[in-house]
Chain A
Amino acid sequence: MSLSYKQHSASKGFDGRLILYYSLLVTIGWLTIFSTSYNPSADLGFSFSLPYVRQLIWIGTSVILATVILLLDARIIQHYSYHLYLFCLLLVISTFFLGSKINGATSWIKIGSFSIQPTEFMKLATAMALAKFFNEGKTTVEKRSMWLIAFGIILTPAFIILLQKDTGSALVFLSFIVLFYREGMTGTIFIFGAIAVFLFVFTLLTNEIYSLALLTFILIIAWIIDRKDKKKIIRNIIIYVVAIAFIAAVNIGYNKVLQPHQKQRIDTLLGKTSDPKGADFNLIQSKIAIGSGGFFGKGYLNGTQTKLNFVPEQSTDFIFCAIGEEWGFMGSCALGTLFLALVIRILRLSEKQRNPYARYYGYGIAGIIAFHFFINIGMTIGLVPIIGIPLPFISYGGSSLWAFTAMLFVFIKLNDN
């Protein structure tokens, strides 16, 4: 694959390693999808309703898409970043009117027998728009308002997607903080983020009274430490008030914004409730599938748990179960290594870019891919709540594969220039 692209290129050449990683991941994905729908007692079918046949079509079209991108002029990509962003935003908004409901989220547009999910492309467009904005805005806009606009660019689609009840995809936009961090946002914000997560969990686990008591306790201690510095005391009080407001927001957000099934999942992870609707059960099934894989796995096509459909959504969000079951700890680690290699390669190449646009873009998509990877795998093994986002390049689904392919090949193209 990489060879043929090299012939097209007149410059130093497309990054062979990225293309190799991509090809490996997509192949593993297809093999796994085949395995989950493979039935040893039935003849191999070739019907367009079979997932592995459809995925093959999407892989084929993805290759075409990748080729087109590589043939484009990189300046065009850069130039039309905002246009694409606005276009995707309109598409996402249009799902309010045209959308059909799948798995409780209204974020799909149906075209014939296919459904496309504009949110997947929104991630790519946001990475491009953000890169363009940093590239052009850094010199012209004052620092504070620059960050405000940057946050606006990621939070606008995130908020709209949240309204469509697709919380998982909305959370993906948080991954841009990797780029923000690289481009000068201070580390303090991450400490605040960590505190926020802690308060969130603590408030949901106990109740707001305990959180309040804890905060007050910390405030008193801080007061004693900083008692001579009036400015710091005032700052501490402001932080205290903000934290209380946050606790109140957590309760309201948890009760009003989250879908019942999402609440259930957070509760499940926090070990808070019995679970009559089955989120627990999904996690148990998922863990059994992965856990039964052992060190070397049961071997390709030999998975029992994932074959008998015990695991829900096993070719999409829970596809890692099949890999864990059939390839065991070794296979899981190999897959993880492959993803890490891909992400780190993107980061490394980004650092080398002379065109800042490419660097910003690279950091943006590296964050997105890493976020997807960690959240998706984490949810199947019970490290994070069950949030329905796909495993990039692996999960069954056209929108997701196209979007991630485009994401990666835009970078490969930029890197080439």
Chain B
Amino acid sequence: MNNQNASRKYAIIVAVMLILAAVYAVKLFSLQVISKDYKEAAKNNALRQITEHPDRGLIYDRNDSLLVFNDAAYDLMVVPKELRTFDTADLCRILDITKEDLIKRIEKASKYSKIIPSLFAQQMSKEDYGYLQEKLYKFPGFFVQSRTLRSYPEPIAAHILGYVGEVNDKTIEDDPYYKMGDYIGISGIEKAYETELRGVKGQRVVLVDVNNREIGSYHNGEEDIRAIPGTSLWSTLDMSLQRYGEQLMQNKRGSIVAIEPKTGEILCIVSSPSYDPNLLVGKARSKNYTMLWRDSIKKPLFNRALQAMYPPGSTFKLANGLIAEEEGILDANTIYNCPGGYQVGSHLIGCHHRGGTNLVAAVQHSCNTYFCRAFYNIISNKRKYPTIQEGYTAWRNHIVKLGFGTTFDTDLPYEKKGILPTAEYFDKRYNRSWNGNTVVSMGIGQGEVCVTPIQMANMLAIIANRGYYVRPHVIKAIGSKDNLNVQYMDKIDAGIKPEYFEPIIQGMEMAALAGTARGAQIPGIRVAGKTGTAQNPHGRDHSVFALIAPIDDPQIVVFCLVENGGWGAAVACPIASLIAELYLTGEVKRKGVEENMLNLSTK
């Protein structure tokens, strides 16, 4: 490089540095000499950064009744750097804590940050707050911050609403939005819609005088950022239906899931035993949570509607009937003779009715023989599927399209997939030598298959819609009632042609009129029903019922399962029909049935 060029570059480098330095000098001059704000601020003893916690969004039911709202609460915060000697005994007395506890809390706060305020005592009563506010000048470094707590007008829908709790360390590290002591939705709607519900935190920078009093906002509030309240949500739940469902399920174990079939909106979703959501709020939350969690008999935290896996029982015959039609195995006129059971080797799957049966009658009478044969024929259809593996897999694919063996991946917390074995599973289990009869009990909803109540309710929605479903969900609208939750609007095709649904629905109607499901009848409404009795190796069978009403233009489908309730018609059937009656007519006229069910205990 020649010398001239080099010295030019040297000059440029020095010039750039001098220009930069000049920019810095100008900035310093404006900061230190021109601006008065900083001098003003420095005169006051301290600035304090106060987080404005936004109100969490409210949750309404489909008819604008409040399911969840907020209550005021007061937290005592501490800024370790600002602590001076104070009367610890006095503070301990006010807060009702021990001195060791006090020291531990201050240490924890210091460890987190010396200058950022930390939560010291949460949710003081209004009385304590008032008392402390008077004496706060004695406790430099402490201040009170208001925030809100969840509150529930009625103790219902605990599993679906979920709860809010303090954010854990891992989340704090991962997401800069959260800091120690913040609340976050931990389960249910609170978790699924956390970003909508939480709002946006604001911040105030205030001046604090030597007596630990806030004397105004810094910079005339120009540095302040207002909190934006959380977005309100409209649930698909019908509060009165939910309440009624929980009442009906009192002293029973099991679940009710009711869906509006056209939209996939869940009208009520009951898991019993449940708990009062007010238990999981505020100071007592962790104590109560432990108590609920330890209750291994009732398991109140267990959401049966989404997580309990049951053999579907006879209600599964509906699915197999549809698949048999779609696969061309049978049509509405196909008649199978029922000799009173289906023989598998030396074992007989019994049936309580006899004679030549078509599809409608098979559904009406819940004919085991018919559906065992249908299922056998589907998976052993050698013309279409040379091997049993292919035949079974084809059946399984249909079942998955009907919403089983998978989750809907919606806004519902912690769904379970259920159990739906693959052909490989049977290959392994039977060392590749198995045939249609080996697994035939799946045709009538027994054997290896297990489903969740929500999956069954969704299958009913498919039948009601004659071929499609919308993923079941619990949030209808976000922000305002007109702003629909567009995530759950797609119609998902279940892979069965519409005309194949007619014999099934006809059979279900016959069952309600003159079959196994007579208890489902609602005065003035055409109802379709199907009983089920899910075999329970551990005790009395589970009572299962599936209901669609009204038949011409279905408004509601109900799936009800009562553990150890005996056979389907005994308990689940009347409960499902009462739910449908309340929803469709607005009142329950069959007071006798209602009373029986309310008083019944299956425990």
Contacts and interface: CB of A to CB of B under 8 A. Distances in A.
- Asked if chains A and B come from one complex, the reply is yes
Given A263-B176, A295-B33, A324-B32, A377 B42 contact: no
Nearest to A324: B32
A63 interface: no
16 contacts: A264-B176, A274-B201, A277-B116, A278-B113, A281-B115, A285-B47, A287-B31, A288-B41, A291-B35, A295-B32, A304-B42, A308-B45, A351-B10, A378-B24, A381-B27, A383-B24
Given A284-B223, A285-B47, A312-B115, 20 more contacts: A181-B13, A182-B13, A260-B176, A261-B176, A274-B200, A274-B201, A274-B203, A276-B203, A277-B179, A289-B42, A291-B32, A292-B39, A292-B42, A293-B32, A308-B45, A310-B47, A333-B28, A344-B17, A351-B7, A374-B24
Given A274-B225, A328-B32, A333-B25, A181 B9 contact: yes
A309 interface: yes
A104 B22 CA distance: 34
A153 B504 CA distance: 75
Contacts of A381: 24, 27-28, 31
Interface in A253-305: 260-261, 263-264, 274-278, 280-281, 284-285, 287-295, 304-305
B461 to A, nearest CB: 39
A276 B228 CA distance: 13
A329 B45 CA distance: 23
Interface of B: 1, 6-7, 9-10, 13-14, 17-18, 20-21, 23-25, 27-29, 31-33, 35, 37-39, 41-42, 45-47, 49, 51, 81, 113-116, 174-177, 179, 200-203, 205, 218, 223, 225
B544 to A, nearest CB: 48
Contacts of B218: 284
A344 to B, nearest CB: 6
A162 interface: no
Nearest to B10: A351
B39 to A, nearest CB: 5
A112 interface: no
A324 B1 CA distance: 42
Interface residues of A, number: 52
A178 interface: yes
A243 B518 CA distance: 72
Interface in A138-184: 178, 181-184
Nearest to B40: A292
A233 interface: no
B559 to A, nearest CB: 42
A391 interface: no
Contact of A274 (B6, B24, B202): B202
A332 B17 contact: no
A325 to B, nearest CB: 8
A310 B179 CA distance: 20
A324 B21 CA distance: 15
A294 B32 contact: yes
A336 interface: yes
B32 A340 contact: no
A129 interface: no
Q: Which 8 A-B pairs have the closest CB atoms?
A: A291-B38, A292-B42, A260-B176, A274-B225, A329-B32, A291-B31, A281-B49, A288-B38
- Which one of B32, B49, B200 has the greatest number of beta carbons of chain A within 10 Å? B32
B141 to A, nearest CB: 12
Given A276-B203, A294-B39, A329-B32, A284 B47 contact: yes
Interface string A310-343: 1010000000000010001100110010001001
A261 B51 CA distance: 18
A181 B9 CA distance: 8
Nearest to B36: A291
A127 interface: no
- Which one of B175, B202, B203 has the greatest number of beta carbons of chain A within 10 Å? B203
A287 B176 contact: no
A275 B177 CA distance: 8
Given A260-B175, A292-B38, A351-B10, A332 B46 contact: no
Contacts of A308: 45-46, 81
B203 A275 contact: yes
Given A284-B47, A295-B32, A324-B32, A290 B21 contact: no
Contacts of B201: 274, 276
Nearest to B14: A344
Nearest to B7: A351
Contacts of A377: 24
Give chain A's interface secondary structure class. Answer: helix
Nearest to A305: B42
Nearest to A184: B1
A370 interface: yes
Nearest to A336: B21
Nearest to A304: B42
B51 A276 contact: yes
Given A182-B6, A289-B42, A310-B46, A284 B205 contact: yes
Given A347-B10, A381-B24, A383-B27, A281 B39 contact: no
B13 A278 contact: no
Contacts of B37: 291
A158 B17 CA distance: 24
Given A276-B203, A288-B38, A292-B41, A370 B17 contact: yes
A290 B14 CA distance: 27
Nearest to B223: A284
Given A290-B28, A332-B28, A333-B25, A182 B176 contact: no
Contacts of A263: 176
Given A182-B10, A281-B205, A292-B39, A309 B115 contact: yes
Contacts of B9: 181-182
A55 to B, nearest CB: 21
A328 B28 CA distance: 9
Contacts of B49: 278, 281
A67 to B, nearest CB: 30
Contact of A340 (B21, B28, B223): B21
B527 to A, nearest CB: 54
Contacts of B6: 182, 351
Contacts of A275: 203
B200 to A, nearest CB: 7
A309 B10 contact: no
Nearest to A260: B176
Contact of B177 (A276, A285, A324, A351): A276
A305 B32 CA distance: 14
A294 to B, nearest CB: 6
A291 B32 CA distance: 4
B222 to A, nearest CB: 11
B586 to A, nearest CB: 47
A20 to B, nearest CB: 20
Contacts of B31: 287, 290-291, 381
Nearest to A366: B13
Interface string A334-377: 00100010011001100100000000000000000010001001
A312 B113 CA distance: 10
Interface string A178-192: 100111100000000
A263 B14 CA distance: 32
A332 B21 CA distance: 11
A348 B174 CA distance: 48
Contacts of B47: 281, 284-285, 288, 310
A343 B16 CA distance: 12
Contacts of B17: 340, 343-344, 370
B25 to A, nearest CB: 6
A222 B578 CA distance: 74
B81 A309 contact: yes
A71 B447 CA distance: 88
